[in-house]
């Protein structure tokens, strides 16, 4: 059955799976979530529960994002196929998103409206966009791996 190889990318054995995949979604979900709760804070005219949500989401995203950076480096060291242009671009975006969200966490530590509007919201949007493109590029790199295997 000669189907499209893209439907069955992994034939390389579990030892060659990227371990970064374990926690890959967590910072993506957290940073997008923080953008959503920031929008809710703005929309609610200052209901502080949304600021608290954003602060925890950013902190959690930073924690797992930091681990993810390390795991990605390990993966790129282990698996030469990942050292593609998509792989490097994805890695750079992850690091960029992490730095933006680190600054964002300081902004979100302010007391009240200026923790979000406007700078926190802008940084949350930038971080979310970066982490989304990162996720897409990283999957792209992994699928390429499958094809070549």
Interface with another protein (CB under 8 A): 45-46, 48, 51-52, 55-56, 59, 103, 105-115
Name the minimum Å distance from CB 31 to another protein: 15
| Contact present, 40 and 80 (Cβ < 8 Å) | no
When the beta carbons of 13 and 45 are compared against another protein, the nearer one is 45
When the beta carbons of 55 and 84 are compared against another protein, the nearer one is 55
Name the minimum Å distance from CB 93 to another protein: 22
When the beta carbons of 52 and 85 are compared against another protein, the nearer one is 52
Q: Give me 122's structure tokens.
A: 């802008």
When the beta carbons of 20 and 55 are compared against another protein, the nearer one is 55
| Contact present, 129 and 47 (Cβ < 8 Å) | no
Give the DSSP letter of residue 2.
-
Name the minimum Å distance from CB 58 to another protein: 8
Q: Where do we find the tokens 């000669």? A: 2
Name the minimum Å distance from CB 25 to another protein: 21
CA 123 to chain centroid: 14
Name the minimum Å distance from CB 114 to another protein: 5
How many other CB atoms sit within 10 Å of the CB of residue 133? 16
Classify residue 24 as exposed, middle or buried by CB count within 10 Å of its CB (0-12, 13-18, 19+). Answer: buried
When the beta carbons of 87 and 127 are compared against another protein, the nearer one is 127
**76 CB-near residues (< 8 Å, 6+ apart):** 82, 83, 87, 91
């Amino acid at each position: 059955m000669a189907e499209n190889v893209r439907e069955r990318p992994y034939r390389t054995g579990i030892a060659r799976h990227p371990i970064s995949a374990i926690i890959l979604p967590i910072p993506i979900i957290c940073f997008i979530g923080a953008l959503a709760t920031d929008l809710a804070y703005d929309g609610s005219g200052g209901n502080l529960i949304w600021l608290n949500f954003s602060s925890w989401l950013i902190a959690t995203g930073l924690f797992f994002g930091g681990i993810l950076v390390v795991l990605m480096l390990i993966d790129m060291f282990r698996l030469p196929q990942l050292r593609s242009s998509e792989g490097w671009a994805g890695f750079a975006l992850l690091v960029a998103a992490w730095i933006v969200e680190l600054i964002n966490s300081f902004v979100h530590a302010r007391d009240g409206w200026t923790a979000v509007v406007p700078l926190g919201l802008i940084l949350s949007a930038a971080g979310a966009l970066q982490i989304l493109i990162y996720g897409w590029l990283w999957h792209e790199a992994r699928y390429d791996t499958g094809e070549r295997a």
